[in-house]
Amino acid sequence: MSGDLYEVISAVGETIIGNRQMLTDLDAAIGDGDHGINMARGFEAVKAKLQTLETESDIGKVLKTVGMTLISSVGGAAGPLYGTAFLRAAAPSQGKTELDVETIGLMLEAAIAGIKERGKATTGEKTMLDALVPAYEAFQDGAKTGKSVIECLELACEAAKQGVEFTKTIIATKGRASYLGERSRGHQDPGATSSYIMLKALLEHLRR
């Protein structure tokens, strides 16, 4: 994974923007109904901000900018959580112009740690972690057997997809959805869904 970081982030952002209504509909069922709207707004802001960094090749600096932009432009819980994830992921990639399997694994680990810390959450609570943690574990399993970045991401995406399905079977214990108690069962978590969408967009862009 190399030099087209701006294209990668743009592809991820466009995919989120394209799924704005679907994410909003998911959130309307168990939350405030604004996840898709907020995420799309955030990535529109990211797209504009990255135009001011077109000559920056340090991946860490670019991701730091993405994180800070999401925190300042995305409403609700998603802004701080995703913003923190990008900020934490920036640390292992600082000074790098290309990413390998090992570094991406460290970035995912750091991002998840940031989300857990910021959201005071763990897996099994019907949040984005139910997609991201299995994705990270699958990615690392691939890394241990010498698979390529794309092969590891394929494993990660499949695990994240299964994680999204898992959220349908459990009760929300975090955020607005937790107010619904048992009624939250049967609905997939919008945050887990947007996490899966981003990972899948990353994979599909790299495949091309």
pLDDT of residue 179: 75
Residues 6+ apart with CB under 8 A from 145: none
Report pLDDT for 126: 95
Structure letter (DSSP) for residue 94: T
- Phi and psi based region of residue 126 (left: phi greater than 0; alpha: psi -120 to 50; beta: remaining): left
Domain total in the chain:
1
Q: Count CB-CB contacts under 10 A for residue 38.
A: 24
What does pTM read for this prediction? 0.94
> For position 112, which CATH number holds?
1.25.40.340
Domain region containing 86: 5-207
Res 184: pLDDT: 82
For residues 203 and 208, give the distance between their C-alpha atoms in angstroms, rounded to a whole number.
9
Q: Convert the pLDDT of each residue in 75-93 to its tens digit.
A: 778 999 999 999 999 999 9
Provide the pLDDT for residue 72. Answer: 94
Q: Which residue has the tokens 């984005």?
A: 128
Distance CA 16, CA 137 (A): 24
Q: At what angle do helices 190-207 and 129-144 cross, to 10 degrees?
A: 40
Q: Supply angle C-alpha 99, 74, 86, rounded to 5.
A: 20
Please provide residue 40's backbone torsions phi and psi, each rounded to the nearest 5 degrees: -65, -45
Q: What is the pLDDT of residue 150?
A: 96
Residues of the chain whose pLDDT is less than 50? 1-3
User: What is the number of residues in the chain?
Assistant: 208
